[in-house]
Structure 1
Amino acid sequence: MSITPFQALACPLDGTSLHCTGSAWTCASGHSFDIASQGYTNLLPVQHKRSRDPGDSKEMVAARRRFLAAGFYRPIAAAVSRAVLAGLPADATISCLDAGCGEGYYLCQLAAAVGDEHTLALLGLDISKWAVLSAAKQDRRPSWVVGSNARLPVLPGTLDRVLCLFGFPVYPEFARVLKPGGQLIQVDAGPDHLRELREIIYPSLKPERPAEMQTPAGFRRLPTQALRFPIELTSAGQIADLLAMTPHLHRASAEGRAKAAALTALSLSVDVRLTCYERDPD
C-alpha cells in the first residue's frame, strides 16, 4: 500500500496553487492557511460560509462514526474501493478526492484496500469542521480539508477520481477538477433504502418516482451497480445512531422519532446505487 501526499490544492481566495511550507499552505499571492495540530486545514473562507458552523454537527458526526465503524456499510465501502481501482495499470499513481467525506470512513477504507502496485494521493473534503476533525484523528495519510463542493480548493484538471457518496454533487466543479477520462463515482440511496425505518417514523411513504438518470454535462455515464443487502441493528443505540446520521432525523415528526427511540432491534434493507461517470475528453 502506498499513500502519497496530495499536492493539487488551490487557494480558495484566488485559485492559485498552494504549497506546503512547514505548518501552513501558502500561495504565491501570500495567502496562508494553517495546518491544525490535528492534521487538517481549513480552506473555507468566512465569506463562503452560509452559517457560522455549516454542515453536520459534532453529535451527528459522532453518531455516523460509531455506526460506520461497526461495519454495517462495509459492502458499500468495498464496492467504492473496487470502482476506484478498477482498470488501473500496474504502478499507477492517481489522485482521488472524496467530496463530502464526512468523518472519513470511505476514504480510510480505500486507503486500506490499495495494494503495493498502486500509489494514491487522497484528499477528503467536508464543509463540517467537526467531520474533518474526526477524519484527521483517524488517519493522517490522506489530506483533510474543510471546504465546499461549490468551490473546490483543487487545481483544474488534476484528479483521476472524485467520490460523492450520499452527498451533494456539484457537477460543474467535479468536471473542472477531473482530468479528461477521470471518473466520478457516486453513491445514492435506492427506493428501498432503510424502508423499514421509514415505515416506522413516517405516517406513510410517498410513492417512489422513477429515478431519471440524466447524465451531467461534461460526462458520459458508465453502467450503474445496484447494491442490496440486509443489516441487523441489535440495540437502541445503533438505531439512534443510524437515525442521527440521516436526513430523516429532521424530517420525521416528534411522534415518529419517539417510535424509533422505543425500538431495541431492527432488521433493515440497504439499497443503494453506485454510478460511475467518465469525464469527457477536452
Structure 2
Amino acid sequence: MNNAPFKALACPLDGDPLTQVEGTWRCATGHSFDIAKQGYVNLLPVQRKRSNDPGDSKAMVAARQRFLNAGYYQPIAEAINHATLSGAPENMPLSCLDAGCGEGYYLRQLAQAAPATVLIELIGLDISKWAVMAAAKQSRQQDQSATWVVGSNANVPVQSASLDRLLCMFGFPVISEFARVLKPGGMLLQVEAGSNHLRELREVIYPTLKPERNDELTVPEGFMLQATETVSYSLALNGKEAISDLLAMTPHLYRASAEGRERAAALETLAVSVDVRLVKWIKSE
C-alpha cells in the first residue's frame, strides 16, 4: 500500500484553507475543529444539520460493515479500483474523495489495490458520524492512511480544484460541488443501481415493483461523459443475518412496509441479483 491522508481541507464556515496543527484543523480566520480520538474530524456545522444525528444510524453502519467485509460487493470495488487508478501518473500524488463513504469499504479496497508507484491521497466524507467513526477505526486497524471527515455533499469541505478523483457510490450527488472540488480533467465516478439491482429482495418486500425508470444519461453541467460500465452478477445469501444486513444498508429498509420487512426477516436463503452502472465523467477544462 502506498497511501496518505488528503490535506487540502477547507473551513465549512468560510471556505478558507484549513491547516492541521497537532490535533486540530484551523483556518486563518480562527475557526478550529478538533480531531477526535478515533482519528476523524467533524466539519458539519450545527446550523447545517437537519437533525441531531443525520445519516445512517450506528446499527445501519454495523450492518453495512458486516455485509461489505464479507466480500459480497467485491466485484463493484474492483471495477471502481480499475477506473480510479487507470491513467494515474507514476510517482505523483493522486487525490481521491469518496463522497458518502459510509464505513470506508471502497477507500480501503482502493488503498490495497493502488500500486507502489502511485501515491494515493485518500479522503472519506459522510454525514453520519457513526459511519465516519467506523471508517477511521478500520483504517487504523489496517494501518492505512486517510482523512476521515463528517460533512455534507452539499458543502464539501475541500479546497476548490484539489481532487483528481471523486467517488459517489449509491449516494446523493451534488454536481455543482463536485465540479468545484475536482481539478480540470479530474474524474467523477458515479455508481448507481440498475433496473435489476436487488430485484429478488424487492419482490419479497413490496406488493408490486415500480415501472422501470428511464436509464438515459443526462450529461451534468461542467462534465463530459467518458464511459459507462455495467457490473452484474448473482449473490447467494445464506442465513438471516446476511439478508437482514443487505436490507438494512439500502433505502428499502424505510420504504418497505412492516409486513414486507417481516417477509424478508423470515427468509433463510436468498439468491439476489446485483446490477449496477458505473459512469465515468470528466471535469471540463
Q: Is the pair's TM-score, using the shorter chain for normalization, greater than 0.5?
A: yes
Q: Which residue of 2 aligns with 1:194?
A: 198
Report the Cα offset of residue 32 of structure 1: 0.5
Q: Identity of aligned pairs, percent?
A: 62
In 2, the alpha carbon distance for the partners of 1:194 and 1:96 equals 28
Paired residue total: 281
Question: What's the TM-score once normalised by structure 1's chain length?
Answer: 0.98
Superposed CA RMSD: 0.7
> Unpaired segments of 5 or more residues in structure 2?
none
In 2, the alpha carbon distance for the partners of 1:89 and 1:11 equals 29
In 2, the alpha carbon distance for the partners of 1:231 and 1:209 equals 23
Is the deviation greater in 125-134 or in 203-212? 203-212
Specify the code of the residue in structure 1 equivalent to 2:169: L
Specify the code of the residue in structure 2 equivalent to 1:200: V
Matched, 1:68 2:97: no
In 2, the alpha carbon distance for the partners of 1:70 and 1:134 equals 16
Report the Cα offset of residue 212 of structure 1: 2.6
Q: Which residue of 1 aligns with 2:241?
A: 237
Report the Cα offset of residue 276 of structure 1: 0.5
Question: What's the TM-score once normalised by structure 2's chain length?
Answer: 0.97
Is the deviation greater in 147-156 or in 134-143? 134-143
List aligned pairs for 1:56-135, cutoff 5 A: 56-135=56-135
- Give the 3-state SS of the residue equivalent to 1:60 in structure 2: helix
Report the Cα offset of residue 3 of structure 1: 1.0
In 2, the alpha carbon distance for the partners of 1:5 and 1:68 equals 23
In 2, the alpha carbon distance for the partners of 1:168 and 1:234 equals 30
Listed one character per residue, the Cα deviations across residues 117-175 of structure 1 (whole Å, up to 9, x for unaligned) are: 10011000000000000000000411100000000000000100000000000000000
Runs of 4+ in 1 over 6 A off after TM superposition: none
Q: Which residue of 2 aligns with 1:28?
A: 28
In 2, the alpha carbon distance for the partners of 1:43 and 1:80 equals 26
Q: Which residue of 2 aligns with 1:253?
A: 257
Report the Cα offset of residue 93 of structure 1: 1.2
Report the Cα offset of residue 247 of structure 1: 0.6
Q: Which residue of 2 aligns with 1:16?
A: 16
- Give the 3-state SS of the residue equivalent to 2:12 in structure 1: coil
In 2, the alpha carbon distance for the partners of 1:206 and 1:105 equals 30
Q: Which residue of 2 aligns with 1:215?
A: 219
Q: Which residue of 2 aligns with 1:143?
A: 147
Matched, 1:173 2:167: no
Is the deviation greater in 200-209 or in 97-106? 200-209
Specify the code of the residue in structure 2 equivalent to 1:240: S
Specify the code of the residue in structure 2 equivalent to 1:150: A
Specify the code of the residue in structure 1 equivalent to 2:162: T
Q: Which residue of 1 aligns with 2:209?
A: 205
Report the Cα offset of residue 94 of structure 1: 1.0
Q: Which residue of 2 aligns with 1:278?
A: 282
Q: Which residue of 1 aligns with 2:186?
A: 182
- Give the 3-state SS of the residue equivalent to 1:68 in structure 2: helix
Report the Cα offset of residue 89 of structure 1: 2.5
In 1, the alpha carbon distance for the partners of 2:168 and 2:120 equals 17
Specify the code of the residue in structure 1 equivalent to 2:81: S
Match of 2:266 among 258, 262, 266: 262
**Does the 8 Å CA contact 2:197/2:274 hold for their aligned counterparts?**
yes
In 1, the alpha carbon distance for the partners of 2:173 and 2:213 equals 20
Report the Cα offset of residue 244 of structure 1: 0.5
**Does the 8 Å CA contact 2:7/2:147 hold for their aligned counterparts?**
no
Q: Which residue of 1 aligns with 2:168?
A: 164
Listed one character per residue, the Cα deviations across residues 74-122 of structure 1 (whole Å, up to 9, x for unaligned) are: 0000110110000122223111100000000001100010111100110
In 2, the alpha carbon distance for the partners of 1:177 and 1:55 equals 22
Report the Cα offset of residue 207 of structure 1: 1.5
Listed one character per residue, the Cα deviations across residues 181-220 of structure 1 (whole Å, up to 9, x for unaligned) are: 0000000000000000001111111120221310100000
Q: Which residue of 2 aligns with 1:153?
A: 157
- Give the 3-state SS of the residue equivalent to 2:180 in structure 1: helix
Specify the code of the residue in structure 2 equivalent to 1:2: N
